[in-house]
Amino acid sequence: MRRLVTGIGGDGKSSVDEQPTIAADLTYSVLYEADLQNQGILPAGVAPLVDLKVGPGAVRWFRAVMKPNQRIETHRTHTVDLVLVVEGSVDLVLDDGTHSLDAGDCVAVTGVDHGWVAGTTGCVMIAVILGAVSPPSARGAPSLDHGGGAASQHPGVSSPAS
């Protein structure tokens, strides 16, 4: 099992800060922790901002299914996203390159510029999204509202080429 934690490198670009392998025989492992109340503003980034409608102190837990080769274009959020790949594989695309994740791997995406590309068989991810800072005040940010249990499509999602 691999665990990735994203951050901003010395060049100001999104990158992987940590990438340890978690021993399979451990019964308890801290995968990520942060004081979101005192974390301050998440990185500014240059990718389009997507407002996930998860305010400070709020949380959303969801399952995401991506079709084979489906792509979610590079974007950023004002959230910390804790993601576990449960089936298939997916590439996490950061400024420092592509990071392949397989079933059992996890990542903490800390508000940095990022995108996703599903593997050739698609993938299923379970994610917990934590509101880390005030949502953007600019009304130009695309909104993603998962309220009411309705299925939604993430802005920037493109279907695989036919």
Residue 126 pLDDT exceeds 80: yes
Q: What average pLDDT is seen over the chain?
A: 81
- Give the pLDDT score at 145: 44
pLDDT in tens, 63-89: 999 999 999 999 998 899 999 999 999
Q: Mean per-residue pLDDT for 150-157?
A: 47
**CA–CA distances in Å: residue 60 to residues 34, 83, 89, 96, 98:** 17, 12, 22, 28, 26
Q: How many CB atoms lie within 10 A of CB 113?
A: 23
| Cα separation, 124 vs 126, whole angstroms | 7
Q: How many CB atoms lie within 10 A of CB 98?
A: 10
- Give the pLDDT score at 85: 98
Q: How many CB atoms lie within 10 A of CB 27?
A: 4
The structure tokens listed for 93 are 């695309």
Q: Mean per-residue pLDDT for 95-124?
A: 96
- Domain spans in the chain, listed from the N-terminal domain onward: 1-24+57-136
**CA–CA distances in Å: residue 34 to residues 20, 30, 37, 40, 102:** 17, 11, 9, 11, 25
- Give the pLDDT score at 139: 36
13 or 35, which is more confident? 13
The values of phi and psi at residue 73, to 5°, are: -60, 160
Nearest to 124 by CA among 152, 97, 88, 151: 88
Which alpha helices (H) appear in the chain, and where do they start and end?
none
pLDDT in tens, 42-69: 777 889 998 888 888 889 999 999 999 9
* Look-up of token digits 């100001």: 12
pLDDT band at 148 (very low <50, low <70, confident <90, very high): very low
CA 138 remoteness from chain centre:
22
At 139 the three-state DSSP class reads coil
- Give the pLDDT score at 23: 72
- Give the pLDDT score at 40: 58
55 or 21, which is more confident? 55
pTM for this entry: 0.79
19 or 10, which is more confident? 10
Domain boundaries 1-24+57-136, corresponding CATH code: 2.60.120.10
Q: Mean per-residue pLDDT for 24-32?
A: 77
